[in-house]
Structure 1
Amino acid sequence: MSTQTEIIIKPSGRASYFNWKEIIDYRDLLFLMIRRDFVSRYKQTILGPAWAIIQPVMTALVFTVIFGKVAKISTDGAPPFLFYLTGMLFWQMFSTSILAGGNSLQANASLFSKVYFPRIIPSLATQITQLIPFTIQFIIFGVFYTWYQLSSDAATVHWLRLLWLPFLIILVMLTSLSISLLYSALTAKYRDLQHALGFIVQLGLYATPVIYPVSSINAEWRWLVWANPLAAPISCTKWIFLDAGAPPGWPLVLSAVFTLLIFLIAVVFFQRVQRTFIDTV
């Protein structure tokens, strides 16, 4: 005699409550969405994942010509191409995550109406998926960096500084996840923001020390740069590999605290919006 199990789904008593255990329970769905996001990104493309290499390398080359040769912007003594390529490591991961995760509610609206699962999973899958192209880009960066080390007598590798890299990766991923959750929750109510996302990301590139060092900013205005939670991780990455940028200090602590604060706000706001999103879409 077979027994049937009845599952009753009840809303939590608090709109701000988030059941983190559900992410573990739905981990199979998370892995499926990670695979879906990666495959769909390069599906029906000729070069496939090679775009993860071409885009940052070509961007770094363009920056080298325009900002290094023409505008002659300082790179704190680092080779311009490596300076821009280092900055593009985290910026590429961040911008792609924002563009893909910012519309996670709208992109999965039809799926939300058919089956229940934690609405944060699509955004979370988007962030984790970016680790794949980031790894590819980091390998290519390692090739150029090794060539520079071998061809330059003055170049040195600071191995202990590499211990900061995992922390910086987590910090950037948490920042992009937080902003993606906020943006997707806002676009659920204000659809105009969908059209502004690409423009905002482009402006963010120039508000982040990707193409210029923080040392080139007047000391009285540097606090504006450090207010950007991405500024410290990107600048610290340049310090790790190129002795440019800024070492870990109060800007990195400020970035971590600010990111955690944004994350908590984003989760609460996202949780409130996603409860009623399917009724208003």
Structure 2
Amino acid sequence: MSRIGTRLALRAAEGKAAFVAYVMAGDPDPGISAEILAGLPGAGVDVIELGIPFTDPMADGPAIQLAGQRALAGGQTLAGTLEMVRAFRETDGETPIILMGYYNPIYSMGVGAFLAAAQAAGVDGLIVVDLPPEEDAELCLPAREAGLDFIRLATPTTDDARLPAVLANTSGFVYYVSITGITGAAAAEAVAVAPEVARIKKASGLPVCVGFGVKTPERAAEIAGVADGVVVGSAIVERIGRGESPAEVLAFIRSLADAAHGD
């Protein structure tokens, strides 16, 4: 079992949802970004989603778009992001890290070179939002062969006819996008999420983590009651963008993690 599966199974055995935190690599600068990344496990984060900055993040709202722009302006690259993971692994060999982003930077590096570098750095999984199942041969299948989980997104518009294709080569967990639209656009509602989580779990046999629209500890606790994991990104990135210190950002993340865990 991968680090991702192991961590989610551990939380499930405890009767708790996992907490997944998204941060953009290199935001607002490499030093602060590395400090926040290093502090995430101590703040209660079970799984880290590390964003790969990209110039055209079509699925992301203003907060994450701006985070990517700050990172790119500071010189962050895909190679630099992999180096961040490698440095993190010098002191933490247990916390799963998922790289989340778009295919263009990976394609530019070359799929083979990227997967070899990601595996060597200690990456556990990938979320590549602009590669549909019809393109699994591009990256999904090679990633699975390299031992990386490939996590697919399901949405409120993923009906029963489409769901099998989405799930076919998914591993680690299924990321359920709780709203229709971009990141940070609306609030997730547990009453609407619960039946979708149950439907996806029945079809996949995988844990289902819910993201998009979770911005507060109260909402994290609500979603944790109906999902295997809770994902927060925009609310964290907004605080980084406002110039909060790493200590302040990590304190906010701790409040989200505690809520998701029911602590």
Greater share of helix residues, 1 or 2? 1
TM-score range, shorter chain: under 0.3
User: Highest relative contact order (Cα 8 Å, sep 6+), 1 or 2?
Assistant: 1
Higher-Rg member (1/2): 1
TM-score by length of 2: 0.23
